[in-house]
Chains A and B, each alone.
Chain A
Amino acid sequence: MRSRHILKRRTFLRGLGGAMLALPVLECMLNNHGTALAQGRPLPKRFGVFFWGNGMRKSQWVPTTTGPGFALSPSLQPLAPVRDVLNVITGYEVKAAGPRGHHNGVSGMLSGVEFIPLEHPNSNYSSKFGGPSIDNILHSDLGIPASKPVLNVRTVDEIVTGEGPTLQFISHRGPDQPQTAVRSPAEIYAGLFGNFTPPDTNDPTNALRTSVLDLVKDDIDRLKPQLSTNDRNRLDAHLTGVSELRARILALPPELTGACTIPEAPTSTPATLRAMSDLHADLIAMAFACEIRQVATIQFTGSVGYTVFPGTTGGHHDLTHDAAQQGAVQASTVFTMECFSSVMQKMAALPEGAGSLLDNSLWLATSDTAEGLDHSVDDYPILLVGGAGGAMRRPGTHVRGPQLLKRNTNDVLVTILRAMGSPRTSIGVGLTASSTVIGEVLA
């Protein structure tokens, strides 16, 4: 009996999917993208994090003027093509910072709380994030469906794995739940679009896949009561992943309206950092435009990363700590901003509604330290790019906090929550919590 039910459901889904691709007339029967827009459904706001490791040079980063007409600094010149939606925030400090360079910046900036040190008298140091990162906070606050989990992408190969999840990952659902970022373009493509090319029969396979996941859920539900609180929490995370996978297996194909098209599958892995970044950006932009994903993170380079940038010979982390190499450090920052600008321009190139995908997106670009040379976390590098569906003021501006009594980078996270439409009004805990928005960047 059960298998017949499965078959019928699958037949229904397949017929629907096939018909949508083949017979446009069926589109009007669905509450699809185009008609929903006509009925006034707001376009979804997308959110992204672009992260690079080892900071920048303050002297080259901070624009010399403030306000909407600010002059781009040398490091920010590559962002000129998107400056209408570029907000630069300087003079803010990571207040939720523990006592360990790099760990304190990446975790405090992205989660708003201090990292958890994993010290051991007989072993090397590791740490975990103290709470979920902003991408996962927003994913949860906005009620984004399980079939559209955060898309985590990693551009470089060189990631430090010896000091725990804080340095290894930028997306965290909680202290014990770091989220792997995928680098292989083919793997990213398969995760986004691979499920939408089903075989051309009434194949029960996908329905049976979900039956397996139901059995896995049964096993976990039976196992949980025997375990410690900590293990039960880990199994809850496992169950969340299972339900996301289930939802993705059953998800309908995207509606090929607006800018959404199913891209060609990548056939090779680009050899250069720039080409890899651009290919990832194409996939993310289409995942956003097709509403397969709504939140993404890009780990462009790693915290304490040893990437060797074009035109330099040393590992990036050690260059940043070498006073004689600050010219090379600056070149790496400019290169990073060129790649970030290219990602933003790809978002801007896709039309959506009356504007572009970037107009309906907000990107946070930041790092794990301010000046790499000395591990400082004051005067942090923070860019907010995109229109956030009209929530951000245009043109973009440069906000510089006071040099005495520096402001809290958690203000930036609160501002992001506000711009994205989250009901949450504060972030962080205790003395480093914030409920202050940066009004100058909001419409």
Chain B
Amino acid sequence: MLAFMRSRSLLFVPSAVLALGLACTNTVVVVDDDAPTPDDVVPLPTDPDEPDDDVDLGPRPVRPPSPFVPSPARLRRLLQLQYTNGVADLLGDAAAAASSAPPDVPLNGSVAVGAGDLALDAAALVTYEASARAAAAAAVADPSSPWRAVCAPSSATDAACWQDLARRLGRRAFRRTLADDEVARYAALGQQAAVAYGNIGEPRAVDRGVELLLVALLQSPHFLYLVERGEPGDDPAARRLTGAELAARLSFFLTGAPPDDELLDAAERGDLSSPTVLSATARALLTDPRAKDALRGYFVEKLHLADLPALNRPDAALTPSVRAALVEETLRLVDDVVWTRNADVRDLLRSTDTFVNDELASYYGFPLPGAGATFVKVPTPAEQDRAGLLTRGAFLVRFAQPDRSSPTLRGKFVREQLLCAAVPAPPPGVATTLPDEVPDGLPRTTRDRIEAHAREDSCAGCHAYIDPLGYPFEHFDQYGRYRTHENGLPIDASGGLDDRTSEDATGFIGLLDERVDLVSCLVRGLYRHAVGRMEESGQDAALYDVDSAFIDGGLKLQDAMVAIATSDAFRFVDTTDGE
């Protein structure tokens, strides 16, 4: 299967190959630039143990009748990962390592939505300027930086080369072909800088000129934002993205990186307006190694894993390296389900295998795999009732209190983040007090205390909606370790989901993975991430169709990403000034 993981240049799909039968969505076209052959049509890897049609989600709701309205067009600043990858593609790894992007700010639980809604603040612009200068300086000091492949000006007056730099680097930076006057302005800036440094006798004056040209490209709004205005001739309320805009949206969504020259060439020729080419291109982008990192980044965000290193959990065993290992364990589960096995995405919730090194196995009390620092796939001990990422330490530690577990935080996560249901706030003016841990000197469990609190009328409704979704994980303390007792009392891990009840974590996961809203919620989360907007009713039907494609293909997450990328809800924007 390593044949898949070829370079980015493979994603250009000549129409001759498309004729070979891309209608089958379970294939990807791998094309060598020089010699495409039918042998390059390779089936996507699937889990041999897992037939495609075992998806049982019960009855689906009917397709929403609402007419299609695309998401409003909004500037989206690049997320940190996208910015870093953008610098890396433009100027090389040394420049990317020297760069730094301001923090992503989430709205409604999504940093992509924040990026499409909030203005850049003053501190962010300071960061971008410092980053642009550091990255550009690293790029001119790096003999292998990609800009050198364009040309190296012989002097400040080498107009042809300065223009080439502006035109070709500008196209990569802005993800579109620049207008002539744009080329002229950026080229002139580099030349002016070369002259200015020449005037003070700087021996590297020309390089310093290139450096300043790069500093400017990296601060341009056309680099920092995704500008998505659509085709000028279309209906303003439903404009098709231009080829270049679609290529950028697609590439950033699937790989966290900008489109390369070949994809931009194809896009600006109009190739992506063919649904088959678009779908095949999306499939090809998913074979880019960075697709895996981008999806890891998405799960880090969804599970709040970035909080783990600084989280206050006063236990000496939870060392920085254990915290890092906990995060890695969960991300390896994602890698395994989505990429290695391309399996039913619900395996994320129900897998009884996990990935540990010796340190983490020891932390959990698992048998030592004896592989040192290397992560290996092992079965979790059956008596610990661990099924999927909700029973892995990263989630359990993050969704807990410093001094106890938190069925409420865990249940709220399931309700909000996995089932996309809104949970109301505690009513104002109500004491959200948990009763004393030891009334009358009698020990109680965390569950006892929450149940006592939730008996109050004003609290009961919400807690009944949340807590039964968190109680199933009560065998896991705030460190993610398995326990049979708390304060000397046996753990009660019974819970439930709406009108169904469960006895333990595995039983609860069995209820959860039959829910169709688990599927639609996953799709909506990815959609927000892809377009930087919360979905609205105008996209309901289009996203319903994405759900259908996802389900019909056996719930493979790669299918969901391709279905989103080829959906009208992804390809169109509303440019009317409605806000």
Residues in chain A within 8 A of chain B (CB atoms): 2-4, 6-7, 99-101, 104, 118-126, 149-150, 152, 157-158, 161-162, 164-165, 168, 173-174, 176-182, 191, 201-204, 207-209, 211-213, 215-216, 218-220, 223, 226-231, 233-235, 237-238, 240-242, 244-245, 306-308, 313-315, 318, 321-324, 373-376
Known contacts: A124-B416, A211-B189. The answer to whether A204 contacts B431 by CB under 8 A is no
What B residues does A118 contact at CB under 8 A? 107-108
Q: How far is the CA of A175 from the CA of B533 in the complex (A)?
A: 17
What A residues does B431 contact at CB under 8 A? 321, 323, 373-374
Q: How far is the CA of A152 from the CA of B124 in the complex (A)?
A: 12
Contact with A along B513-548 (1 / 0, CB 8 A): 000000001001000100000110000000000000
Asked whether, in the complex, the Cβ of B402 is within 8 Å of the Cβ of A315, the reply is yes
Check if B456 is an interface residue, CB within 8 A of chain A.
no
A227 closest partner in B (C-beta)? B75
Asked whether, in the complex, the Cβ of A321 is within 8 Å of the Cβ of B125, the reply is no
Q: How far is the CA of A121 from the CA of B422 in the complex (A)?
A: 6
Check if B425 is an interface residue, CB within 8 A of chain A.
yes
Asked whether, in the complex, the Cβ of B109 is within 8 Å of the Cβ of A212, the reply is no
Asked whether, in the complex, the Cβ of B577 is within 8 Å of the Cβ of A229, the reply is yes
Asked whether, in the complex, the Cβ of A122 is within 8 Å of the Cβ of B521, the reply is yes
What A residues does B219 contact at CB under 8 A? 212-213, 216
Describe B's contact surface by its main secondary structure: loop
Asked whether, in the complex, the Cβ of B124 is within 8 Å of the Cβ of A123, the reply is no
Asked whether, in the complex, the Cβ of B195 is within 8 Å of the Cβ of A3, the reply is yes
Q: Which A-B residue pairs are the 5 nearest by beta carbons? A: A237-B119, A241-B125, A3-B196, A234-B119, A122-B420
Q: How far is the CA of A315 from the CA of B434 in the complex (A)?
A: 14
Asked whether, in the complex, the Cβ of B200 is within 8 Å of the Cβ of A202, the reply is yes
Q: Give chain B's interface residue range (CB within 8 Å of chain A).
A: 35 or more
Contact of B105 among A152, A168, A228 (CB under 8 A): A168
Residues in chain B within 8 A of chain A (CB atoms): 72-75, 102-103, 105-110, 117-126, 129, 132-133, 185-186, 189, 192-193, 195-197, 199-200, 212, 215-216, 219-222, 227, 229, 304, 310, 312, 314, 401-403, 416-417, 420-423, 425-426, 428-437, 521, 524, 528, 534-535, 575, 577-579
Asked whether, in the complex, the Cβ of A125 is within 8 Å of the Cβ of B422, the reply is yes
Asked whether, in the complex, the Cβ of A104 is within 8 Å of the Cβ of B425, the reply is no
Asked whether, in the complex, the Cβ of B189 is within 8 Å of the Cβ of A238, the reply is no
Report how many A-B pairs have Cβ atoms within 8 Å. 228
A-B contact pairs, 13 of them (CB 8 A): A118-B108, A122-B534, A125-B108, A173-B121, A179-B122, A216-B221, A233-B119, A241-B124, A313-B314, A313-B403, A314-B401, A321-B434, A373-B433
What B residues does A207 contact at CB under 8 A? 196
* CB of B336 to closest CB in A, whole Å: 27
Asked whether, in the complex, the Cβ of B121 is within 8 Å of the Cβ of A3, the reply is no
Asked whether, in the complex, the Cβ of A315 is within 8 Å of the Cβ of B422, the reply is no
Asked whether, in the complex, the Cβ of B416 is within 8 Å of the Cβ of A179, the reply is no
Asked whether, in the complex, the Cβ of B200 is within 8 Å of the Cβ of A164, the reply is no
Asked whether, in the complex, the Cβ of B310 is within 8 Å of the Cβ of A158, the reply is yes
Asked whether, in the complex, the Cβ of B109 is within 8 Å of the Cβ of A124, the reply is yes
* CB of B22 to closest CB in A, whole Å: 33
Q: How far is the CA of A366 from the CA of B355 in the complex (A)?
A: 47
Asked whether, in the complex, the Cβ of B534 is within 8 Å of the Cβ of A120, the reply is yes
Q: How far is the CA of A2 from the CA of B534 in the complex (A)?
A: 47
Q: How far is the CA of A153 from the CA of B200 in the complex (A)?
A: 39
What A residues does B429 contact at CB under 8 A? 374-376
* CB of A192 to closest CB in B, whole Å: 11
Q: How far is the CA of A205 from the CA of B222 in the complex (A)?
A: 23
Q: How far is the CA of A374 from the CA of B492 in the complex (A)?
A: 29
